[in-house]
């Protein structure tokens, strides 16, 4: 199965984002965090756009206050996304990983270009070096077969358990969010669950 996914990663993918106005109606019991899971590929421009439009405000209004737990769920669509995910998971703390995730999305149009994976890897490592990751650490992560298998297995499980058909796919409290991909609409959903 992993070999099949690796072959699949070499095939270009067209990503579709479907949007409709359906609010979620499953209130979290008081005192519980709302869990936001975003299944995304680090080379997906729609994922970068969603992260840019929603994450910073979500972090300011809900995550930093402990009301929302944000989970980046890796769903790499190609080898560059897989390698960027390896570098992302190289970092130690979740706070560091969140900052690195934001930076990878912000600079996606600079590192996720071209077909030479070694050049792409160097571009990813350049971003990682701004987050106290050494070249030796990142090289080790890029060559780590266990880490690669872990990421690819997570993708397989996401496909099986959540029926992911495109990225980004967002779940809020285990229910698929299909509303507008803007913060105002997303904020209303979160507020209704608190």
pTM: 0.82
What's the confidence (pLDDT) of residue 11?
41
What's the confidence (pLDDT) of residue 94?
73
Cis (ω within 30 of 0) for the bond into 171?
A: no
d(CA 194, CA 149): 36
| Residues 20-36, mean pLDDT to the nearest whole number | 56
- With a cut of 50, say whether residue 68 has pLDDT above it: yes
Question: Residue 36 forms beta bridges with which residues?
Answer: 70, 172
Residues above pLDDT 90, as percent of the chain: 76
- With a cut of 80, say whether residue 66 has pLDDT above it: yes
DSSP calls for the chain: -HHHHHHHHTS---------------PPPTTPPEEEEEEE-TT-HHHHHHIIIIIHHHIIIIITTTSEEEEEEE---SHHHHHHHHHHTTSSSHHHHHHHHHHHHHTHHHHS-SS-HHHHHHHHHHHHHTTT--HHHHHHHHH-HHHHHHHHHHHHHHHHHH---SSSEEEETTEEE-S-SSHHHHHHHHHHH-
pLDDT tens for each residue of 79-99: 999 999 999 998 776 777 899
Confidence of residue 12 (pLDDT cuts 50, 70, 90): very low
Query: Which has more confidence, 164 or 31?
Result: 164
Residues above pLDDT 70, as percent of the chain: 82
Asked whether the beta carbons of 89 and 131 are under 8 A apart, the reply is no
What's the confidence (pLDDT) of residue 6?
53
What's the confidence (pLDDT) of residue 142?
98
| Residues 41-61, mean pLDDT to the nearest whole number | 96
């Amino acid at each position: 199965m992993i070999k099949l996914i690796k072959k699949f990663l070499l095939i270009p993918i067209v990503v579709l984002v479907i949007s409709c106005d359906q609010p979620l109606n499953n209130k979290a019991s008081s005192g519980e965090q709302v869990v936001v899971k975003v299944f995304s590929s680090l080379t997906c421009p729609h994922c970068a756009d969603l992260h840019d439009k929603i994450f910073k405000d979500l972090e300011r209004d809900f995550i930093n206050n402990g009301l929302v737990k944000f989970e980046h769920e890796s769903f790499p669509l190609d080898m560059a996304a897989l390698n960027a995910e390896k570098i992302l998971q190289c970092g130690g703390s979740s706070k560091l990983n969140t900052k690195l995730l934001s930076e990878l999305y912000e600079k996606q149009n600079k590192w996720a270009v071209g077909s030479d994976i070694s050049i792409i890897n160097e571009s990813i490592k350049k971003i990682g070096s701004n987050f106290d990751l050494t070249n030796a650490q990142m090289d080790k992560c890029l060559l780590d077969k266990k880490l690669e298998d872990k990421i690819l297995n997570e993708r397989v499980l996401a496909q099986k358990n959540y029926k992911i058909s495109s990225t980004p796919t967002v779940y809020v409290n285990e229910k698929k969010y299909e509303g507008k991909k803007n913060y105002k609409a997303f904020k209303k959903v979160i507020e209704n669950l608190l």
